[in-house]
Each structure stands twice: as C-alpha cells, then as structure tokens.
C-alpha cells in the first residue's frame, strides 16, 4: 500500500500540519483587523494566541519525534535494501512502505527464494 507511511514519517506529517494550521489561523485572525476595524484587534489577538499554541504543540511533536528517532533501531529493509528506522514491534519502511516486524508471531508470510520458479537441473538417475 503506497498510502501508508512509517510511524516516524506520520508523526512528522502531523507536526507539519499543525505548523501550517497555526500559521493559517494567525493569518486569518490578522485579516479580522481589516474587516472589523477596532474589534478586529481583539479577534486578531485571540486567533494569534490559538495559532501560537498550535505552533508550540507542533514544536513539542517535532521534539518528541526527534527523541524517538535517536533511540530507534536502524535496520536494513529486506525489500528495497535501504536503511530505515523501526519503532515498536511492527513498522513500515520509510522508502518502499513494506511492513517490517521484529516479532516472528506477527509475520504474515515466509520469504520466498528468488529462484523458486526455475526448474532444477537434474542428473541421470
């Protein structure tokens, strides 16, 4: 599934979304000054506070993900061969989105040999 991402990438996406939403709220609140005049300053101040809170929450998420990323084990993806970080017992590759697991009980299938479709060479019986 191409739309699923690793846990670290998903959390970073939420952090980025909160920054964009916070900036949008601040810009929208500043527009209140132009539309409502003197009352718009109060509206702008309220929206500015909500936007700053959103940006601070985003900063907290980025800090938390950074701390998780430093302690995450780095493994080689068996599908694409690139090095990726894995959080928890199951995660996805950051590059090819292959499901990775360190728990054999959660593995969905056995790896197939590369030359499984080739016919073996037979010798005389």
Residue 2: per-residue pLDDT: 56
In a domain, 38, yes or no: yes
Angle at 70 between CA 7 and CA 65, to 5 degrees: 40
In a domain, 17, yes or no: yes
Tokens 């780095």, located at residue: 74
In a domain, 26, yes or no: yes
Residue 93: per-residue pLDDT: 85
Full pLDDT tens readout for the chain, 125 residues: 456 888 888 899 999 999 999 999 999 999 888 888 888 899 999 999 999 999 999 999 999 999 988 888 888 888 888 898 888 888 888 888 888 887 777 777 655 555 555 444 444 44
Q: Are 86 and 75 in contact (CB under 8 A)?
A: yes
In a domain, 122, yes or no: no
- Sign of the C-alpha dihedral, residues 85, 86, 87, 93? positive
Residue 94: per-residue pLDDT: 84
In a domain, 118, yes or no: no
Based on the structure, what is the number of domains in the chain?
A: 1
In a domain, 85, yes or no: yes
Domain that holds residue 95: 7-105
Q: Could you tell me the pTM of the whole model? A: 0.71
In a domain, 117, yes or no: no
Residue 122: per-residue pLDDT: 43
In a domain, 120, yes or no: no
């Amino acid at each position: 599934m191409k739309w699923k991402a690793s846990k670290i990438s998903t959390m970073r996406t939420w952090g980025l979304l909160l920054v964009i939403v916070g900036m949008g709220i601040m810009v929208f609140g500043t527009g209140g000054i132009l539309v409502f005049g003197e009352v718009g300053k109060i509206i702008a101040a309220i929206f500015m506070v909500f936007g700053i809170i959103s940006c601070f929450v985003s900063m907290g998420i980025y800090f938390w993900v950074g701390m998780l990323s430093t302690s995450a084990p780095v493994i080689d993806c068996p599908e694409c061969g690139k090095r990726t970080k894995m959080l928890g017992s199951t995660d996805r590759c950051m590059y090819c989105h292959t499901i990775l697991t360190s728990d054999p009980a959660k593995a969905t299938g056995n790896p197939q040999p590369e030359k499984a479709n080739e016919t073996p060479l037979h010798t005389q019986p």
